[in-house]
Amino acid sequence: MNTPVIILAGGLGTRLQSVVKDLPKPMAPVNGKPFLHYVFKYLNGQGIENVIISSGYRHEAIVDFFNDEYLGIKIKYSVEDEPLGTGGGIKKAFKLVADTAFVLNGDTFFDVQLEELKNFYLSSKCDMALALKQLEHFDRYGTVQTNDDNRITNFVEKKYIEQGLINGGVYFFDKKVFDKIETGEKFSLEKDVLEKQVKHLKFYGKVFGGYFIDIGIPEDYQKAQHDFARFENR
């Protein structure tokens, strides 16, 4: 698949400082390999050929490990001289993209069929397609509300909920979406684009049932050690 993937890899991992120091969060070691290794392995299985890594803090650690090609995937880097936020980082990375791209959070793993998400975007004729995950009994994430046509109608603040949909951190959209909104150089994709523009732009969500993990807290980081050991041995 020639469509490129932008990976957001600029996170500091402040909540993981007890286990990961002086590394970008996506470089946190999982069974002796960076978490990003497993993301690349997944992308390789999806037929992805080109990746742009959006990085900032200690970006040289990422470059030293992955260089300009990894697992047969060609890599370019979009480096932030200062933190631009998730939105600013994506917008800068899109300068290396012709039109559309997948966007992934580099500190989460969501087993999404990317071609399905792309086709969903095209058939929905939306501004942005989001991969959604259904969870039960959680308070760590905000929830996403959709209508019967799969259009996202609201993003709800974090609170305990018995069951709901969350934003899985996998997107597909065209760089032109940034022409439709006013932003500074630094902005958040979640707060300044998704939440503020949900009534004005067409954001659509497709639910996927694949494996999901976010290594942002020590408990799930430890869980990843066990889970990915199983994946490597398949």
Give the closest residue to 2 by CA, choosing from 82, 102, 95.
102
User: For the whole model, what pTM was predicted?
Assistant: 0.95
135-172 b/e with 16+ CB inside 10 Å = b? Answer: beeeeebbbbebeeebebeebeeeeebeebbbbbbbbb
- How confident is the model at residue 57, as a pLDDT? 76
User: pLDDT digit string (tens) for 84-141?
Assistant: 999 999 999 999 999 999 999 998 999 999 999 999 999 999 999 999 999 999 988 9
Q: Domains in the chain, start-ordered, CATH in brackets?
A: 5-232 (3.90.550.10)
Identify each DSSP E strand in the chain by its residue range: 5-8, 29-30, 33-34, 50-55, 69-70, 73-79, 100-105, 108-110, 128-138, 143-146, 152-156, 161-174, 203-207, 212-214
Q: How far apart are CA 149 and CA 221, in angstroms?
A: 35
Place 183 in a pLDDT band, splitting at 50, 70 and 90.
confident
Q: How far apart are CA 173 and CA 188, in angstroms?
A: 16
Give the closest residue to 73 by CA, choosing from 173, 6, 169.
6
| Cβ atoms of residues 12 and 55 within 8 Å | no
- How confident is the model at residue 10, as a pLDDT? 78
Amino acid identity, position 137? H
Give the closest residue to 51 by CA, choosing from 71, 28, 32.
71
- How confident is the model at residue 207, as a pLDDT? 98
